[in-house]
Amino acid sequence: MYSIWLLPSEKESKRFQKIIDVLSELFKTPTFEPHITLYTHIPKLTDELFYNVSVLAALTNTFEVSIAEIQTSSNYYKSLFTNIRSNHTLENLQQEVQNLFPGIDYDFLPHLSLLYGEIEEALKSEKINAIREDLIQMFQASRIAIVCTQGEVSDWKIIETFDFHLDENPHLEFIFDTVKNLKI
């Protein structure tokens, strides 16, 4: 099984990773890369999927993602997580990913997990205030990844990442200018 993840910029990813690593060591649970799942349960990888995701990334600007509150749940993959405030860019990106899989709906609930596992609510709730101080309220989403999410969490592996472009990308402007000036 494969998934498509939205990833924070590298600098911000390291901050989230530190929180995830500390919590997973404390609770003896698996560690994982910080991400927002855009789509999951993809049965197989195809060249078309890689191509479409790379084009989608090339057409997407780096954008800001806002964190809402920290919450807990009994869901193994959302044991301790932050809700993500929805915004137009995030919704459009997820819809474009969804469009790659016609006829299969995905219930998109944007969040960034900080802890996986089955842990008592009281123990998780105890850690929320400590985490809140280390948590950034906003981060740059700058990459999209195709991830093998088969088997145990420790077996998960990012297959490929695709960087978004910055608003001011002179290379892309040059390409667009060149295309506009072609006489066809």
Alpha-carbon 128 to chain mean position: 21
Task: For residues 82-98, give the mean pLDDT.
Answer: 94
pLDDT at res. 150 = 94
pLDDT at res. 92 = 94
Query: In the predicted model, is pLDDT for residue 120 greater than 50?
Result: yes
Task: For residues 107-132, give the mean pLDDT.
Answer: 88
Helix, strand or coil for residue 61?
strand
Query: In the predicted model, is pLDDT for residue 177 greater than 50?
Result: no
- Measured from the Cβ of residue 31, the count of other Cβ atoms closer than 10 Å reads 15
Amino acid at 86: S
Domain containing residue 129: CATH number: 3.90.1140.10
Cα separation of 72 and 167, whole Å? 36
Q: Which of 30, 16, 4, 20 is nearest to 67 (CA)?
A: 16
Give me the domain span that covers residue 128: 2-181
Please write the tens of the pLDDT for every residue from 41-67. 999 999 999 999 999 999 999 999 999
Comparison of pLDDT for 56 and 128, the residue scoring more: 56
Please write the tens of the pLDDT for every residue from 6-42. 999 999 999 999 999 999 999 999 999 999 999 999 9
State pTM to two decimals: 0.86
Percent of the residues in the chain that have a pLDDT greater than 70, as a whole number: 90
- DSSP one-letter code for 165: B
Query: How many folded domains does the chain comprise?
Result: 1
